[in-house]
Structure 1
Amino acid sequence: MCGIAGFLAPSLHPDAAPGVVTSMLSLIRHRGPDEAGYYLDDGFAMGTVRLAIVDLAAGSQPMSDAAERHWISFNGELYNHVELREELRALGRPFRTHCDTEVVLQAWIQWGPECLTRFDGAFAFAVRDAVTGDLFLARDRYGKRPLFYTEHGGALLFASEMKAFRAFPGFRFTLDPRELASVFAVWTPLPDRTPFQGVRQLPMGGVLTVRGGRRTLRTYEELAVAAPPFEGSEEDAAAFVRETLRASVEKRLRGDVEVGVYLSGGLDSSIVTKLATDLSPREVRTFSVEFESAEFDESGSQRVVASHLGTRHSSVTVSGADIAEHFPSAVEHAEVPAFRTAFVPMYLLSRHVRDSGIKTVLSGEGADEAFLGYSLFRETMLRASWHELSGEEREAGLARLHPELAHFGPAHRKHMAGLFQQFSEERLPGLFSHELRYQNGRFAARLLEDRGIDPFAGVLDLVRTAPGYADLTAVQKAQWLEYKTLLAGYLLSTQGERMSLAHGVENRCPFLDPAVVRAAASVNLRFDDGSEEKALLKRAFRGELPASSLARRKQPYRAPGSAVFKDRRPEYLELVLSDTELGKLDWADPVFARKLVAKIMATPAEEISTKEDQAFVLLLSTALLDQRFVRDTAWPDASPESGLKIRTVVDNRRVLPRVGGMR
């Protein structure tokens, strides 16, 4: 795991290039605190801050082939590098290290961009051909690792985090009203978007080619949520799923450092922990978040699993005061508006993991998307069949959805039935599964100044133009949307990778192995009618996990919301409490924002609706982004003397003699 940054800037004065690239790397040094290096060519620079995990001694970056024609800056891990190395060796490709970065580079030289479909990994990287001048940027198929790019003054800038762009002369961030509206409506940036004008992210499964001043963006692999049905019995299917997951975990335990596990206490992380204890040569260390508030705490379930599997378990206890204190720092690392506070405890957990001496952890992200674990999928099934059901069947279906939520209880059943009746027909083309959820987003979008922007225009265009989307079932469309929006845009980024890498911890996701995703698609619905969440997955691990873990209904990971801010009144809350400060937010509707803030401040937490709570967190997090990224020019010292030792790998600027360095 690392961070990369660079630019293609023919007009930048050559003497300025070293200082610019080192400053860019310094701004993302938290991603790779072990070492850093950069490569310079005429008008081009790329560099890497490295978190050393595979081949600690010889994996320095940027890395080249022996002829120094092809150069790579690589962020992430290639989990099948062992198998690909052997295949490439058989084809005559030479290797000087045991690092997965060199496997990626040699695969690129051998197969070109077609190599990307062979990769099982979490990655984002840049490859430069020093002879042709071509530049390639690529990202993994599920968007596990970030890669942003923008054009400024004729220069193309790219980096693992947008904040690195602040180091380029004259670059400034501006919030984009159209993209903000979309983020507020669907809770995350869309696959190729960011909240800032002119800044884009390379979409999942995307490759950007820069050749002779022209940029070409294409998708090398489309997201597939459908697969031929599994041929075999339910018992065979359970064994197939178990073995596929086992192979995935085994690959993700590779490396030259100890690998820990995030243990939430739920089914998915418990399965990952079980497989890790079976396969790891070391005692497995597990890590969890505990909450002072019993409403959010799952420590009991976590301890049961840890005890059952014999892991060395530790946790960090998070209070409302902790969330309020660290919210601004977590938002700065996230770089996008957030609709809940649950990413802040993950920020604190990764700090605890790093302080415990662990650089790499496994987690359960992707399991609910692959194996239909979310209530969203059962809601979609129920709404899609609403007109075919009797009154008793509808009521029974509603009762099964959310027995843990009061507003789905018997006293509110009639109201919920009316709501489901109202949304039993599609209103937004292609978005049937998410229309109920998007009502909260529609409310939040009212916080923005009315510019006549349709907040759902972006996501409507996304599904309208997606190849094969129209042919998917309602549930498969729901899956596709979850992969493309909330998983990649929030769970893997804001709540996942960005919080882990804030403290130099790499997160690996066994459920997002392509083979696991394909396996899930082949067994879903055939062996799961929606009456029991992830029934086949539970069967695959029956007898190996505590009975309570298998019987326990999914409890979404949650954290205290707006109450933590109003109870403690941190200084930064003035950004939304003060009329003067609200007036500085040129993207906000001050009247609606003032009304919402007043209600949050005056109303007991239990009387605040989910949509109001989410809207408030979106408002506050965006105000912090506006202050930090748009209006604040006093960024931390980004000089080479700021604590990160950065070495020159190669300097091929025409105005300077060539400088040798690490290889």
Structure 2
Amino acid sequence: MCGIAGILKPNRPAEALGADIRGMLSRIAHRGPDGYGTLVDNGLAMGTVRLAILDPAGGAQPFGDASGRYWLCYNGEIYNYRELRATLEARGFSFRTTCDTEVVLAAWIAWGPDCLTRFNGGFAFALYDAETGDLFLARDRFGKRPLYYAIRGDTVLFASEMKAFLAVPGFSFEQDPDQLSSILAQWTPLPEQSGFFGIKSLAMGEYLSVKDGTLATRTYDALRFDIGPKVESEEEALEAIRARLSRSVELRLRSDVEVGVYLSGGVDSAIVAALARDFASKPLSTFSVEFEDAEFDESAEQRLVAEHLGTSHHAERIRHVDIANATPEAVFHAEVPAFRSAFVPMYLLSQRTKAEGIKVILSGEGADEAFLGYDLFKETLLRAAWRELPDEIRGPRLARLYPHLSHYGPEDSAAVTGLYAQFSEEKMPGLFSHELRFQNGQFSARLMKDKGDPFRAISELVANAPGYERLSPVEKAQWLEYKTLLPGYLLSTQGERMSLAHGVENRCPFLDPEVFALATSVNLKFDDGFVEKRLLREAFRGRVPDAITDKRKFPYRAPDAAAFAAEKPDYLDLVLSADELSKLPFLEPKFASRLANKVLTKPAAEISTKENQTFLYLISIALLDRAFVRREGLSASVLPPLDKAVDLTARRAEVNLPREASAR
């Protein structure tokens, strides 16, 4: 795991480019505290800060091939690198390291962009062809690792995190109201959105080429639901689930440093931990978040799994004051507005994980998307069939919707009946599954002075997606989750950004192409989908405690506005002061002020879910403005030791190449 950055600026002196790239890397040094390296050529500089996990001695970057033509700055892990290496060796390639970085470079030389579909991993990389001057940027198929780019005049910038651009002379940040409106309404940035003017996120499953100053993006892996194996029986499905997940965990344990597991208290992480223990030569290290607030605490289940598996367990207990104190730093690392505070405890947990000497952890993200674990999928099934169902079937199915909600009773069922009758037909083309969720988003979008159409961008996304219209309602729901909330929040704000803030790499066994393909072929084939992840649970019954196997979905949450109301941190002036709110001219000040005062003064029981979400959006937008737009309260950054510095302009001069021959 690493962080990468780069700048292309014609006619800028090599010395100035070197200073630029060192400054950019210093802003993301938390991602790679073990070393850094740079490459400078005519009009280009790029570099890497490295978290050394595979071949610590031999994997320094930028990594070049033997000819000196191709250079790679790479962030992530390719878990099937050993198998790819064997294939490449059979083609005549030789290797001087045991690192996956060298395999990525050789694969590109062998197959070009076609190599991307062969990679099983989470990655983002920049590959420079010193002969042609072409630059390629690529991102993994599930959007596990981030990569941003921006164009300012004749300058092209890219980096793992946008904060690297803070170091670029003359670069300024400005929040984009249209993007903010979209983010507020849908809980997450869309694939290309960053929340700022002029900065784009490279979408999952895409690569970008820069040739002669022209940028072009291309999709190399579209999300498909028709590629799984044929499974004829439930027993065959259960065996396939066990086999593919076991293989996925085995691949993700490849490391030259110790690998731990995050335990949430749910079945997904318990399965990952059980499989990881199968391959462990010593007690597995596990880590969990505990809460002083019993409403959110799952420590009993976490300890049950840890004791059952015999792990060396570490728990980080989170109080309201911890959330309030850590929020500004966590938002700075997240870089986008957040609709809940659950990412802050993960920031603190990764800090604890690093303190315990662990650089790599496995977690259960992606299981709910693959195996239909969210209420959203059950709701979509029921709403899609609503008009054809007789009353005697509607009632029992409604009763099965929310078994995990202790307060859900007959009166709630009556209210839901009316809601489902209202939303049984599609109102927003292509977005049927998410229409109920978007109701809360409509409230959050009221923060914007001019919210426009907050669903225009997502409507265009689905309208332009090849084959989307042929998917079933539940497959459309999955597609939307894989394209929006999973990469835009769960894997980034709550996942990768919080772990890499402290130099900890997060690996997700459920985000394996083979696991995804299998899940798409067995979901709903042997049941009606009203017991979430039933096949996954049954596949591992007996491997984890029955109390965990049979536990219904308990979404990971943390105290939201209540933590800020209890602690009253100083930075709340950003949303309570009229003068401070006036610095955010795109916000509706009266609505924002009324909301903030209500949330911070009324009892928690009087604050609705949508008000909680909207307040978190408000405070994170204000903190992002302070850090990125006004550049106040930024943490100092220090580069790790220098691993490698490559100056191609000097090399060209040594062999007397004329400048025009080496120009890009």
TM-score range (shorter-chain normalised) is over 0.9
| Structure 2 match to 1:528 | 527
Deviation at 1:649, TM superposition (A): 2.2
Q: Which residue of 2 aligns with 1:653?
A: 649
Q: Distance in 2 between matches of 1:321 and 1:492?
A: 25
Q: Given residue 550 of structure 1, which amino acid in structure 2 is its aligned partner? A: T
1:652–1:658 Cα contact (<8 Å) kept: no
Structure-2 change in CA distance of 1:226 and 1:237 (3 Å): same
Identify the residue that residue 242 of structure 2 maps to in structure 1: 242
Query: Is the 2:141–2:205 Cα contact (8 Å) retained in structure 1?
Result: yes
C-alpha contact 2:227 2:517 (8 A) present in aligned 1: yes
Native 8 Å contact 2:403 2:552 kept in 1: no
Can you give the 5+ residue segments of structure 1 that lack an aligned partner in the other structure? Answer: none
Separation in 2 of the partners of 1:454 and 1:413?
32
Correspondence for 1:611: 610
Code of the aligned partner of 2:373 = G
1:635 is displaced (CA, Å) by 4.0
Counterpart-to-counterpart distance in 2, 1:130 and 1:124 = 20
User: Structure 1: how far apart are the matches of 2:400 and 2:15?
Assistant: 66
- Give the deviation of 1:586 after TM superposition: 1.2
Q: Mark the CA change 1:291 to 1:550 in structure 2 (over 3 Å): closer, same or farther.
A: same
Which residue does 2:550 correspond to in 1?
551
Q: How far apart are 1:597 and its partner, in Å?
A: 1.5
Cα distance in 1 for partners of 2:260, 2:175 equals 38
CA apart distance, 1:658: 6.5
* Structure 2: distance between partners of 1:283 and 1:648: 36
SS in structure 1 opposite 2:96?
A: coil
Q: Which residue of 2 is the match for residue 52 of structure 1? A: 52
1:168–1:158 CA distance, 2 compared to 1 (3 A)? same
When the two chains are superposed, the root-mean-square deviation of aligned CA atoms in Å is: 1.5
Contact 2:54–2:98 (Cα < 8 Å) also in 1: yes
- Residue 658 of structure 2 is matched in structure 1 by none
Give yes or no for the alignment of 1:135 onto 2:131: no
Give the structure 1 partner of residue 25 of structure 2.
25
1:75 is matched with 75
Aligned residue for 1:171?
171
Q: Which of residues 621, 632, 644 in structure 1 aligns to 2:640?
A: 644
For residue 411 of structure 1, what is the aligned residue in structure 2?
411
**Matching of residue 61 in structure 1 with residue 41 in structure 2:** no
Structure 1 match to 2:507? 508
- 1:636, CA displacement in angstroms? 4.2
Please identify, of 338-347 and 399-408, the stretch whose mean Cα deviation from structure 2 is larger. Answer: 399-408
DSSP 3-state at the match of 2:97: coil
- Counterpart residue number, 2:661: none
* Aligned residue number for residue 630 of structure 1: 629
Distance of 1:269 and 1:601 partners within structure 2: 35
Which residue does 1:303 correspond to in 2?
Answer: 303
Structure 1 window deviating more from structure 2 (508-517 vs 404-413): it is 404-413
Runs of at least 5 residues in structure 2 that lack an aligned partner in the other structure: 656-664
Q: Which SS does the other structure have where 1:385 is aligned?
A: helix
Distance in 2 between the 1:594 and 1:633 partners? 22
2 CA distance for matches of 1:285 and 1:658? Answer: 51
Please state how far the C-alpha of 1:396 moved relative to its aligned partner.
2.1
Contact 1:187 1:441 in 2 (8 A): yes
Q: Deviations over 1:440-480 (max 9, x none)?
A: 111100100126x2000010000000011000000000000
- 2:381 is paired with a residue whose SS is helix
Residues 506-528 of structure 1 show CA distances to partners (whole Å, capped at 9, x for unaligned) of: 00000011000001111111023
Matched, 1:213 2:209: no
CA contact (8 A) 1:75 1:125 kept: yes
Partner residue of 2:460?
Answer: 461
Distance in structure 2 (CA, Å) of the matches to 1:47 and 1:300: 45
Further displaced range: 629-638 or 239-248: 629-638
Written as runs of structure 1 = structure 2, the 5 A alignment for 1:29-428 is 29-227=29-227, 230-405=230-405, 408-428=408-428
Q: Is the 8 A contact 1:651 1:658 kept in 2?
A: no
Change (3 A) 1:53 1:449: same
In the alignment, does 2:470 pair up with 1:471?
yes
Relative to 1, partners in 2 of residues 1:516 and 1:658: Cα closer, same or farther, differing over 3 Å? farther
Give the structure 2 partner of residue 565 of structure 1.
564
Q: Distance in 1 between matches of 2:642 and 2:654?
A: 17
How many residue pairs are counted as aligned between the two chains? 655
Cα deviation 1:76-100 (Å, max 9, x = unaligned):
0000000000000000112111100
User: 1:528 touches 1:534 (CA, 8 Å); kept in 2?
Assistant: no
How much has 1:382 moved relative to structure 2?
0.7
Q: Aligned AA for 1:541?
A: F
Query: Helix, strand or coil for the counterpart of 1:278?
Result: helix
Distance in 1 (alpha carbons) for counterparts of 2:392 and 2:619: 43
TM-superposed deviation, 1:171: 0.2
Please report the TM-score for the alignment, with normalisation by the length of structure 1: 0.97
What amino acid maps onto 2:519 in structure 1? Answer: A
Over 3 Å counting, the alpha-carbon distance change for 1:497 and 1:65 in structure 2 is same
2:208–2:215 CA contact under 8 A, matched in 1? yes
Deviation at 1:404, TM superposition (A): 3.4
Structure 1 residues 167 and 155: alpha-carbon distance in aligned structure 2, compared to 1, 3 A threshold: same
Distance 1:648 1:656 in 2: 18
Cα 1:382–1:443 shift into 2, 3 Å: same
